[in-house]
Amino acid sequence: MSTASQTGEIALDVRGLRRTFKQVVAVDNVTITVPRGEVFGLVGPDGAGKSTLIRMMATVLAPTGGDALVFGKSVRTESSKVKPRIGYMSQAFSLYRDLTVRENLEFFAELRGVPRKDMASRSAKLLEFSGLTEFAKRQAQFLSGGMKQKLALAATLISEPDLLFLDEPTTGVDPVSRREFWRIISGLHRQGITVFVATPYMDEAERCDEIAFMTQGRIILRDTPAGMKARVPGRVIEVDVSDYRAAMPIARSMPFASSVEVSGEHLRILVTRADDGVEADIRDALEAAGLRVDRIRPVATDLEMAFATLIPTATLPDRTIDDDILAVAE
Amino acid sequence: MRRIYAIARKEFIHIIRDPRTMIAVLIMPLLQLFLFSYAVSFDVKDLPTALLDQDHTAISRQYVDALKQSNYFTVTHNLTASSEIDGIFDRNQARVVVVIGPGFGDSVAAGRAGAVQVLIDGSEPNSAQLGQAYANGLSRIFGAKVAISQAEASGMDPAQAGGLTAKTRIWYNPEGKSASYLVPGLIVLLLTVMTVQQTANTLVSEKEQGTYEQLVVSPIHRIELMIGKVMPWAVMAALNIITISAIGLLVFRIPFRGSVALFALASFLFVLCVLGLGLLISARSSSTEVANQLAMMISFLPAFMLSGFVFPLASIPPALQGLSYLFPARYMTVVARTIFLKGGGWDVLWPQIAALAVYAVVVITLSALLYRERS
């Protein structure tokens, strides 16, 4: 998309990265490359190992096996050369609550060796950029959730990193702030910064150049959002039905339905038949069961449906282990 | 250098903005100083005393008067038979029973030693020890007085005259004022507790807040991080030493007989030791609760029990004596008391100061080694 990504320079080269916590394998031989300038999305269920993977790439956690090269430097043996080029925003708010917005920014600027002459202009720019200028003197603990996340991002950006690791940066943030947050990420993308972001939200994944799906410590799919959707065999029919719970088993029993999902109040059925008669058949089957069909129409495949069909159910985790719990247990 | 300063400045902000820390650091030591010095005073005054005078002579009454006038004893009961003594102790009506045996007056009059039995309730060792000392001292003074007047009356050489049986006791602290030996020890105790506790928390709380990961991804060396974190606490410790000493000198009127420079040097080394201990705990604790408990165990108990602060080290079991060498309070207590009370200098204190220096180097190196950059 940007010029940097077209030169083919590799920002991140992960080779067989692995991490175990006692008996549990959190990250299992992950290999991915991320071209410079890309916004790369990592999606997957809780406990898939996303945070553990990011923490290893961000030099916070030591790998058990394998390696990750950040602009050609190993996180294992050259972490001091990796650190100046990366920014890392963890899932939990990780700034000082009793320091003001400006003090937090200045602290991380000093810590990361931002030249003194640039400090004032950079923090002013970042405050402006994140809409925090008027809260500069407020202690971080008194900011709203969305503002906290923007401050954390600003603190991460103060050293102008070339590669940014964001671990579920918008979890627990209101929709307006989420949109604003992604507007900032788009801005970074235009500046040529490589962004590696883990997200549980499919609409956010949709905005990435490429996405990888991770489950049980492994990356099992990797493609562009469009490519992911194109892989889905068949079309999606969306049905508004009076009782979608009751409609689910009926839809599943239809021979041409390969997948049935509930999205909001809608029922989404992936059908393998290409003919137009399929809508009528669905309506008939549901009405025969005494359900009222309010609306039925074909819709574009979304990522949710793509993952639901593309990921073999056997690979989904049978137990949910939160990365944070693992981190504490170590 | 810039990074160290950034960390130190941030730590100062943490301290200043948290009222609880401010109280713990600045008010608590002073509160404890006053508490220990007044409430937990080891001074014994007005010991409740029961008297059993089996002699009933003018001389025995003279002895009783001297006892009453001494301030140390308050005669609460006059007994008539030795069978009452146990009951007095059992009901806690008196801590001391003074028994003047029959023939006391005759012995003194005859120029021989008059026997006085002093029975002391040993269940409170401090009062027991001091009460015994007072009684002995009293006997000596009284004995001398009696002996002298006897000698003059009979024209004998006073040195040859008999007196009361008495033991002498040497006081470093002639008035037996406990503040004098408490305050120097307290400086050590309070400083240990405050410094170890606070530094033990610094790294752990960053881990709990999640800010630790941000420090880890920053290009900062662990030594820089540790120095930056420890600097504000070194300043706080210095402040505490100065205020506690000043209060000791001005309010409690304890003496300072030694060299200020030597005391400053020893204090500096000692502060390094306790900062190192705190960091050691912090580097290895998984949570602030664990850190606090470890800090309590490593700071308060040894500084209280194994430093010579309360119990003379010579009188504790050999195994515990050995253990006491593992904690810096033991060395610093000797240094502080010697400098404050005896005015001792480098010639007598060099082993303790050398021990503190070695301890500081070892504990700081150890904590730097144990502190892992990545988990």
- Summarised one tens digit per residue, pLDDT across range A277-320 is 888 888 888 888 888 888 888 888 888 888 877 776 545 444 44
- Is pLDDT of A325 > 70? no
Q: Are B156 and B110 in contact (CB under 8 A)?
A: no
**Set of chain A residues whose Cβ sits within 8 Å of the Cβ of B6:** 107, 110-111
Contacts of A94 in chain B (CB under 8 A): 209-211, 213-214
Contact B219 A112 (CB under 8 A): yes
Q: Which of A60, A105, A137 to mutate to test the interface with B (most CBs of B within 10 A)?
A: A60
Residues in chain B whose Cβ is within 8 Å of chain A: 2-3, 5-7, 9-10, 13-14, 17-18, 209-211, 213-220, 286, 374-375
At B166, is the pLDDT very low, low, confident or very high (cuts 50, 70, 90)? very low
pLDDT of res. A170: 87
Does A120 contact chain B (CB < 8 Å)?
A: no
pLDDT tens sequence across A44-62: 888 889 999 999 999 999 9
- A94 pLDDT band, cuts 50/70/90, is confident
Which of B6, B216, B219 has its CB closest to that of A107?
B6
The confidence score (pLDDT) of residue A57 equals 95
Question: How far apart, in whole angstroms, are the C-alpha atoms of residue A242 and residue B304?
Answer: 75
The stretch A139-146 carries a mean pLDDT of 89
pLDDT for residue A91 = 85
Do A188 and A164 form a contact (C-beta atoms < 8 A)?
Answer: yes
Q: What angle do CA B214, B219, B224 make, to 5 degrees?
A: 95
Residue in B3, B213, B375 nearest the CB of A88:
B213
Of the listed ranges A110-124, A164-178, B296-310, the least confidently predicted one is B296-310
Query: What pLDDT shows up at residue B146?
Result: 52
Of these ranges, A266-280, B7-21, B63-77, B156-170, the one predicted with the greatest mean pLDDT is: B7-21
Cβ neighbourhood burial of B250 (10 Å; 0-12, 13-18, 19+): exposed
pLDDT digits (tens, 9 = 90+) for A221-236: 899 999 988 888 888 8
B47 forms beta bridges with: B73
For residue B244, is pLDDT > 80?
Answer: yes
Cα gap A61→A56, rounded to integer Å: 5
**Is the pLDDT assigned to residue A2 strictly greater than 70?**
no
Of B168-172, B208-212, B343-347, the range with the lowest mean pLDDT is B168-172
Residue contacts between A and B (CB atoms, under 8 Å)? 77
In this prediction, residues A148-171 reach a mean pLDDT of: 90
Report the range out of A200-209, A299-308, B18-27, B280-289 with the highest average pLDDT.
A200-209
The answer for residues whose C-beta is within 8 angstroms of residue B128's C-beta and 6 or more apart is B95, B120, B121, B122
Q: Is A328 in CB contact (< 8 Å) with chain B?
A: yes
Q: Do A111 and B17 touch (CB under 8 A)?
A: no
Task: Please indicate whether, in this complex, the C-beta atoms of A90 and B210 are within 8 angstroms of each other.
Answer: yes
Query: Of A255, A294, A301, which is closest to residue A278 (Cα–Cα)?
Result: A255
Nearest alpha carbon to residue B187 among B235, B231, B240: B240
Q: What is the mean pLDDT of residues B5-20?
A: 89
